Amino acid sequence: MKPINVGLLGIGTVGGGTFTVLKRNAEEITRRAGRPIRITTVADKNLELARRVTGGEVKLSDDAFAVVADPEIDIVVELIGGYGVARELVMKAIENGKHVVTANKALLAVHGNEIFAAAQKKGVMVAFEAAVAGGIPIIKALREGLTANRIEWLAGIINGTTNFILSEMRDKGLPFAEVLKEAQALGYAEADPTFDIEGVDAAHKATIMSAIAFGIPMQFDKAYIEGISKLDAVDIAYAEQLGYRIKLLGIARRRDEGIELRVHPTLIPAKRLIANVEGAMNAVLVQADAVGATLYYGKGAGAEPTASAVIADLVDVTRLHTADPEHRVPHLAFQPDQVQDIPVLPIEDVVTSYYLRMHVEDKPGVLADITRILADSGISIEALIQKEAAEGESHTDIILLTHQTVEGKANAAIVRIEALPVVQGRVTRLRMESL
């Protein structure tokens, strides 16, 4: 059995995990793949690290470009990250007729259209299971398992770092910065952790899922993105009191008018399975017309969970690399000429329900003024709490949960509420999904 030769670019968290798992489970993986998958060369600019992780068993290089040009290499595994050098390396690998496996969601969400077009032209595969929800086989599920269905929407906890932060803050009352440091030490966070905290990483993943769920191009630049940095602990507590959990969700939903593609902190009924996904765990809920709802749960980050997905792709590529390109699973699940340019809707056109918190003067008539504005805007109220003002305080909190409405209408109503003299400061608005 002639081995298939792999060039591994980047041997950090995921690269290290990939090397270790491939070695540990080599025998079983070979039995599945039909031939040995051999890491021939590892390229990392940190040669000392590469030596330590590999024990010097394979060829080492600090020049990743030499590896993508090496005629011996059949598959390039890109685990460097970012869209600078990683993009150049992936494009070069494709140009050189090599298959690519990558965990790089940033690269695919931003440059995927160009990369998949080049791969299609060259007849090579670009596999990316590790790019979304780490070890959870969600790409496989969306692209192959659900092909009978019209997918209606999907919603996921797809960033381990922020879910870990939200869980630890809620359960242990730990401060944000401390939990973030822990997430970084555990290898969950991106090189630039603002990508995690500000929702960018989740938006990369939601963009990729939207493309394969609906057969649309990557439209990351159209995604609405709001992270957890402005989330107030008081809203987490009020949400609990109302029977909700706040999670950073990535949502992609098909509507007649277009696609909703958004990432934001979201109130979810506490009884839902997905509301109970804690720590660095990920979960993706998919609603499809024939099968109904399916839920995918597991580790979305970390060395070996992510390596699990990278190696699954390596096995897929090994099994399929001699197949006629036409007989392979299309990169974006739909045949390339069937990808449709459905627009992503602006956030003002999104339909959802809202949690609104306002700090108001504690006097008669205030609530009536606020509810009148909402009624005038055609927004109905689902639940309401008015806190009693604390001893000696003239102001108190009102929390309102609304029924579904168009975001533009909610924005206009919020502006009017904020203009009331009895309302102090800004209205805090969080979106809610019943899922």
Ligand X SMILES: NC(=O)c1ccc[n+]([C@@H]2O[C@H](COP(=O)([O-])OP(=O)(O)OC[C@H]3O[C@@H](n4cnc5c(N)ncnc54)[C@H](O)[C@@H]3O)[C@@H](O)[C@H]2O)c1
Query: Site residues (CB under 5 A) for Na ion?
Result: 129, 132-133, 136, 138, 309
Q: How does strand 151-157 pair with strand 244-255?
A: antiparallel
Among 119, 130, 216, 332, binds ligand X (CB under 6 A): 130
**Is there a binding annotation on residue 14?**
yes
Q: How far is the CB of 98 from ligand X (least distance, A)?
A: 16
**Is there a binding annotation on residue 10?**
yes
196 binds, among Na ion, ligand HSE, ligand X, none (CB under 5 to 8 A by kind): ligand HSE
**Could you say which of 98, 181, 205, 222 is catalytic?**
205
Nearer to Na ion, 105 or 245 (CB): 105
Cα-atom radius of gyration of the chain, to the nearest Å?
Answer: 24
Q: How far is the CB of 178 from ligand X (least distance, A)?
A: 20
Based on the shown chain and the rule CB under 6 A, indicate whether residue 18 belongs to the binding site for ligand HSE.
no
**Is there a binding annotation on residue 182?**
no
Q: Are 358 and 374 in contact (CB under 8 A)?
A: no
Among 188, 214, 220, 244, binds ligand HSE (CB under 6 A): 188
Q: How far is the CB of 106 from Na ion (least distance, A)?
A: 15
Write out the binding residues for ligand X, residues 259-288 only, by CB under 6 A. Answer: none
Q: Are 161 and 193 in contact (CB under 8 A)?
A: yes
**Is there a binding annotation on residue 13?**
yes
Could you give the C-alpha distances from 132 to 103, 157, 208, 228, in angstroms and in order? Answer: 8, 11, 8, 19
Q: State yes or no: is 98 an active-site residue.
A: no
Based on the shown chain and the rule CB under 6 A, indicate whether residue 301 belongs to the binding site for ligand HSE.
yes
Segment near ligand X (CB under 6 A), from 137-145, 298-306, 344-352, 408-416?
298-306
Burial code (b: 16+ CB inside 10 Å, e: under 16) for 8-46 equals: bbbbbbbbbbbbebbeeeeeebbeebeebbebbbbbbee
Structure tokens at 234: 């008081």
Measured CA to CA, the distance from residue 241 to residue 170 in angstroms comes to 13
Q: How far is the CB of 307 from ligand X (least distance, A)?
A: 9
Write out the binding residues for ligand HSE, residues 195-234 only, by CB under 6 A. Answer: 196, 201
Among 75, 180, 239, 301, binds ligand X (CB under 6 A): 301
238, amino acid identity: Y
129 binds, among Na ion, ligand HSE, ligand X, none (CB under 5 to 8 A by kind): Na ion
Burial classification of residue 335, based on how many CB atoms lie within 10 Å of its CB (0-12 exposed, 13-18 middle, 19 or more buried): exposed
Based on the shown chain and the rule CB under 6 A, indicate whether residue 313 belongs to the binding site for ligand X.
no
Segment near ligand HSE (CB under 6 A), from 186-194, 209-217, 366-374, 391-399?
186-194
* x/- track of binding to ligand X for residues 172-191 (CB under 6 A): ---------------xx-xx
Give 419-423 contacts, CB < 8 A, sequence gap 24+. Answer: 420/366, 420/369, 420/370, 420/373, 422/360, 422/361, 422/363, 422/366, 422/369, 423/358, 423/359, 423/360, 423/361, 423/370
Nearer to ligand X, 209 or 435 (CB): 209
Measured CA to CA, the distance from residue 111 to residue 368 in angstroms comes to 51
Based on the shown chain and the rule CB under 6 A, indicate whether residue 44 belongs to the binding site for ligand X.
yes
Q: How far is CA 21 from the centre of its chain?
A: 24
Q: Please name the residues in contact with 123: beta carbons below 8 A apart, sequence gap of 6 or more.
A: 97, 325
Measured CA to CA, the distance from residue 247 to residue 224 in angstroms comes to 16
Strands (DSSP E) contained in 338-394 are: 351-361, 381-386
Residues near ligand X (CB under 6 A) are: 9-15, 43-46, 49, 64, 79-81, 85, 103-104, 130, 134, 187-188, 190-191, 301-302, 306
- Residues serving a catalytic function are 205
